[in-house]
């Protein structure tokens, strides 16, 4: 039996207390997110707490923890409890812990993460989850939004779901990250990170949920649209493909599928990249916003 299958599924704050969870859970919105309390992430997670957190993550899709003054080493150790960590090929990394991406924004460097995305969906084996800690927050602004992509798929009209059956999408890191690279760096990054193809609708390996798995940051086009949709005219085919892809992108913008977090220093967010998109709101310039992220390697989408 998998770790996820062994854990108990939380249902509400009152039931959580009755079931003797090793932490408290307060649901953030009806669609997604929960605040987790009475836990110290600096300490190694024992097996019952690890299993409970993993199951809570699957259910709520993003977990929020306040007042977690993690050192970089503790941050890495927490991430490794859930799986192997990746090293990002482009984003700045912590000098002593390359598994930690550092987002260091100020009046010298604007943020550019204001687009709905799933971290590293452009990998052949994308991320299982990400753990982000706020080191220094702006006095106001700089929130992050997460989206429940299982709900986004569930609420699609039936005829759209039918059109997505068997459809594959291409994910690529260069359209977003390439502008910050030199021509030589682009060649090197491309050689090590070719564009990949994933199902438009994937199945969550632990919950069994169907998930809409395209995002406007990294998904460039469908790989087999003509094969699935049938051919009429070249322009007609391409416009229909673009319309469908843009329609799918827009699902993430529905407030009914979202939760929004106001960061505080030492707040940690842990989210499931398989079942969510997120968007970092860039409304705080020129204030400082410094974050660190560990990203856990996942599984090949099916």
pLDDT at 298: 98
**E strands along 194-267, which residues?**
196-199, 201-203, 210-212, 219-222, 258-261
CA triplet 133, 182, 188: central angle to 5 degrees? 85
Indicate the DSSP class of residue 106.
B
Mean pLDDT rounded to a whole number for the chain = 92
> Is-above-0.85 flag for pTM?
yes
Cβ atoms of 266 and 290 closer than 8 Å: no
**What is the reported pLDDT for 15?**
42
Decide if 83 contacts 299 (C-beta within 8 A). no
Q: Is residue 5 part of a domain?
A: no
Q: How far apart are CA 34 and CA 56, in angstroms?
A: 8
CA angle (270 as vertex; 268, 271 as ends), nearest 5: 145
- Residue 116's region, left for phi above 0, alpha for psi from -120 to 50, else beta, is beta
Angle 268-40-142 from CA coordinates, rounded to 5°: 15
Same domain, 172 and 215: yes
Measured between alpha carbons, how far is 29 from 249 in angstroms, rounded to an integer? 22
User: Is 155 found in the same domain as 111?
Assistant: no
Alpha carbons 296 and 130: distance in angstroms, whole number: 6
- Chain segment 146-171, per-residue pLDDT in tens: 999 999 999 999 999 999 999 999 99
Indicate whether 269 belongs to any domain.
yes
Residue 80 pLDDT: 98
Do 130 and 50 share a structural domain? yes
Quote the number of domains for the chain: 2
Query: Do 224 and 121 share a structural domain?
Result: no
Structural domain contains residue 70: yes
Tell me the mean pLDDT in the region 265-280: 98
User: Beta strand pairing status for 210-212 and 201-203?
Assistant: antiparallel
Share of the chain above pLDDT 70, in %: 93
- Pair (122, 268) in one structural domain: yes
Same domain assignment for residues 270 and 243: no
Question: How crowded is the C-beta side of 139, counted as CA atoms within 13 Å?
Answer: 2
Phi-psi region of 208 (alpha: psi -120 to 50; beta: other; left: phi over 0): left
Q: 193 and 109 share a domain?
A: no
Residues 28 and 98 both lie in one domain: yes
Output the CA torsion 47→14→151→113 (10° steps).
Answer: -70
Residues 93 and 187 in one domain: no
Asked whether residue 128 falls in the same domain as residue 219, the answer is no
Q: What is the pLDDT of residues 2-59, one digit of tens each?
A: 344 333 344 444 344 435 789 999 999 999 999 999 999 999 999 999 999 999 999 9
For residue 96, give every residue at least 6 positions away whose Cβ sits within 8 Å of its Cβ, in sequence order, or none: 72
Is 169 part of any domain? Answer: yes
Mean pLDDT calculated for residue range 217-232 = 91
Residues 100 and 159 in one domain: no
- The two tokens of residue 103 are 């987002």
Q: What is the mean pLDDT of residues 250-268?
A: 98
> In this structure, how many other beta carbons lie within 10 angstroms of the beta carbon of residue 277?
30
> Catalytic residues, which ones?
117, 119, 278, 293
Q: For residue 213, how many other CB atoms are within 10 A of its CB?
A: 26
269 with 176, same domain: the answer is: no
- Chain segment 233-248, per-residue pLDDT in tens: 777 888 999 999 999 9
> Looking at residues 212-238, what average pLDDT do you find?
90
Determine, yes or no, domain membership for 120: yes
Is 9 inside a domain boundary?
Answer: no
Backbone angles phi, psi at 186, to 5 degrees: -60, -40
Range of the domain at 185: 148-252
3-state secondary structure of 299: coil
Q: Look at residue 259 and tell me if it is in a domain.
A: no
Q: Taking residues 137-152, report their average pLDDT.
A: 97
The strand order across the sheet containing 196-199 reads: 196-199, 168-171, 219-222
The enclosing domain of 93 has a CATH number of 3.60.130.10
In a domain, residue 113? The reply is: yes
């Amino acid at each position: 039996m998998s770790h996820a299958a062994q854990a108990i599924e939380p249902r509400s704050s009152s039931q959580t207390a009755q079931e003797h969870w090793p932490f408290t859970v307060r649901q953030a919105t009806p669609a997604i997110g929960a605040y987790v309390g009475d836990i110290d992430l600096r300490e190694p997670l024992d097996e019952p707490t690890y299993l409970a957190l993993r199951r809570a993550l699957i259910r709520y899709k993003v977990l929020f923890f306040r007042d977690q003054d993690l050192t970089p080493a503790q941050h890495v150790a927490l991430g490794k409890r859930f799986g192997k960590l990746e090293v990002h090929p482009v984003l700045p990394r912590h000098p002593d812990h390359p598994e930690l991406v550092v987002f260091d924004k100020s009046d010298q460097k604007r943020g550019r993460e204001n687009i709905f995305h799933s971290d590293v969906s452009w990998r052949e084996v994308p991320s299982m989850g990400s753990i982000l800690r706020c080191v220094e927050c702006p006095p106001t602004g700089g929130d992050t939004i997460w989206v429940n992509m299982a709900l986004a798929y569930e609420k699609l009209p039936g005829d759209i779901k039918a059109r997505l059956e068997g459809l594959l999408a291409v994910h690529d890191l260069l359209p977003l990250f390439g502008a910050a690279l030199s021509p030589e760096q682009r060649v090197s990054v491309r050689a090590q990170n070719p564009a990949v193809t994933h199902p438009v609708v994937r199945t969550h390996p632990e919950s069994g949920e169907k998930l809409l798995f395209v995002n406007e940051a990294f998904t460039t086009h469908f790989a087999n649209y003509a094969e699935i949709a049938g051919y009429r005219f070249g322009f007609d085919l391409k416009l229909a493909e673009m319309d469908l892809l843009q329609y799918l992108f827009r699902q993430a913008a529905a407030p009914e599928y979202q939760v929004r977090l106001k960061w505080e220093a030492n707040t940690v967010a842990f989210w499931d990249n398989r079942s969510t998109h997120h968007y970092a709101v860039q409304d705080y310039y020129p204030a400082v916003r410094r974050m660190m992220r560990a990203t856990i390697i996942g599984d090949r989408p099916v």
